Structure 1
Amino acid sequence: MNETTLKGNWNELKGKIKQAYGDLTDDDLTYEEGKEDELWGRLQQKTGKTKDEINKKLLICSKYF
């Protein structure tokens, strides 16, 4: 899978995540290589969910593409 495809998939997944968690913004979902912990922290802080709960939701959302 090339970088363009990965970015497209991430953008599609971000849209599904924002539907599931309406309070999330594009800034909350910004991914930077090497800063995964920061992304998880933002998601946990904004949603009030644990990393495992968020991960389960991501897996459900990702099944649709």
Structure 2
Amino acid sequence: MDWNRVEGNWKQFKGNVKEQWGKLTDDDLDVIAGKRDQLEGKIQERYGVAKDKAKEDVDSWYSRQRL
């Protein structure tokens, strides 16, 4: 499975992302539009974590999704 499925079904995944990272706003999610690098960047910005930590968190979240 690759990230393209998340991008293609972003509207369905937005709720899951919001549950995981509640500090992300609806506007953030609209800007992200399913793009992984954008998601990682917003997580870094909102949570003040390093790039590696944001990537690790997204990897963990992604592995739990049923695609």
TM-score (norm 2): 0.56
Structure 1 vs Structure 2 CA RMSD: 2.8
Superposed counterparts of 1:1-65, under 5 Å: 5=5, 6-8=7-9, 10-29=10-29, 30-31=31-32, 36=37, 39=38, 40-64=40-64, 65=66
| One-letter amino acid of the counterpart of residue 23, structure 2 | D
How far the C-alpha of 1:13 sits from its partner, in A, is 4.3
Give the structure with the higher percent helix: 2
Larger RCO (CA within 8 A; separation ≥ 6): 1
Percent of matched pairs sharing the same residue? 29
Aligned length: 57
Segments of 5+ residues of structure 1 without an aligned counterpart are: none
Q: Secondary structure at the match of 2:26?
A: coil
Distance 1:42 1:60, change over 3 A: closer
Distance (whole Å) between structure 2 residues aligned to residue 45 and residue 28 of structure 1: 11
| One-letter amino acid of the counterpart of residue 54, structure 1 | A
Larger radius of gyration: 1
How far the C-alpha of 1:53 sits from its partner, in A, is 0.7
Distance 1:47 1:27, change over 3 A: same
How far the C-alpha of 1:41 sits from its partner, in A, is 4.0
TM-score (norm 1): 0.57
Q: Secondary structure at the match of 1:61?
A: helix
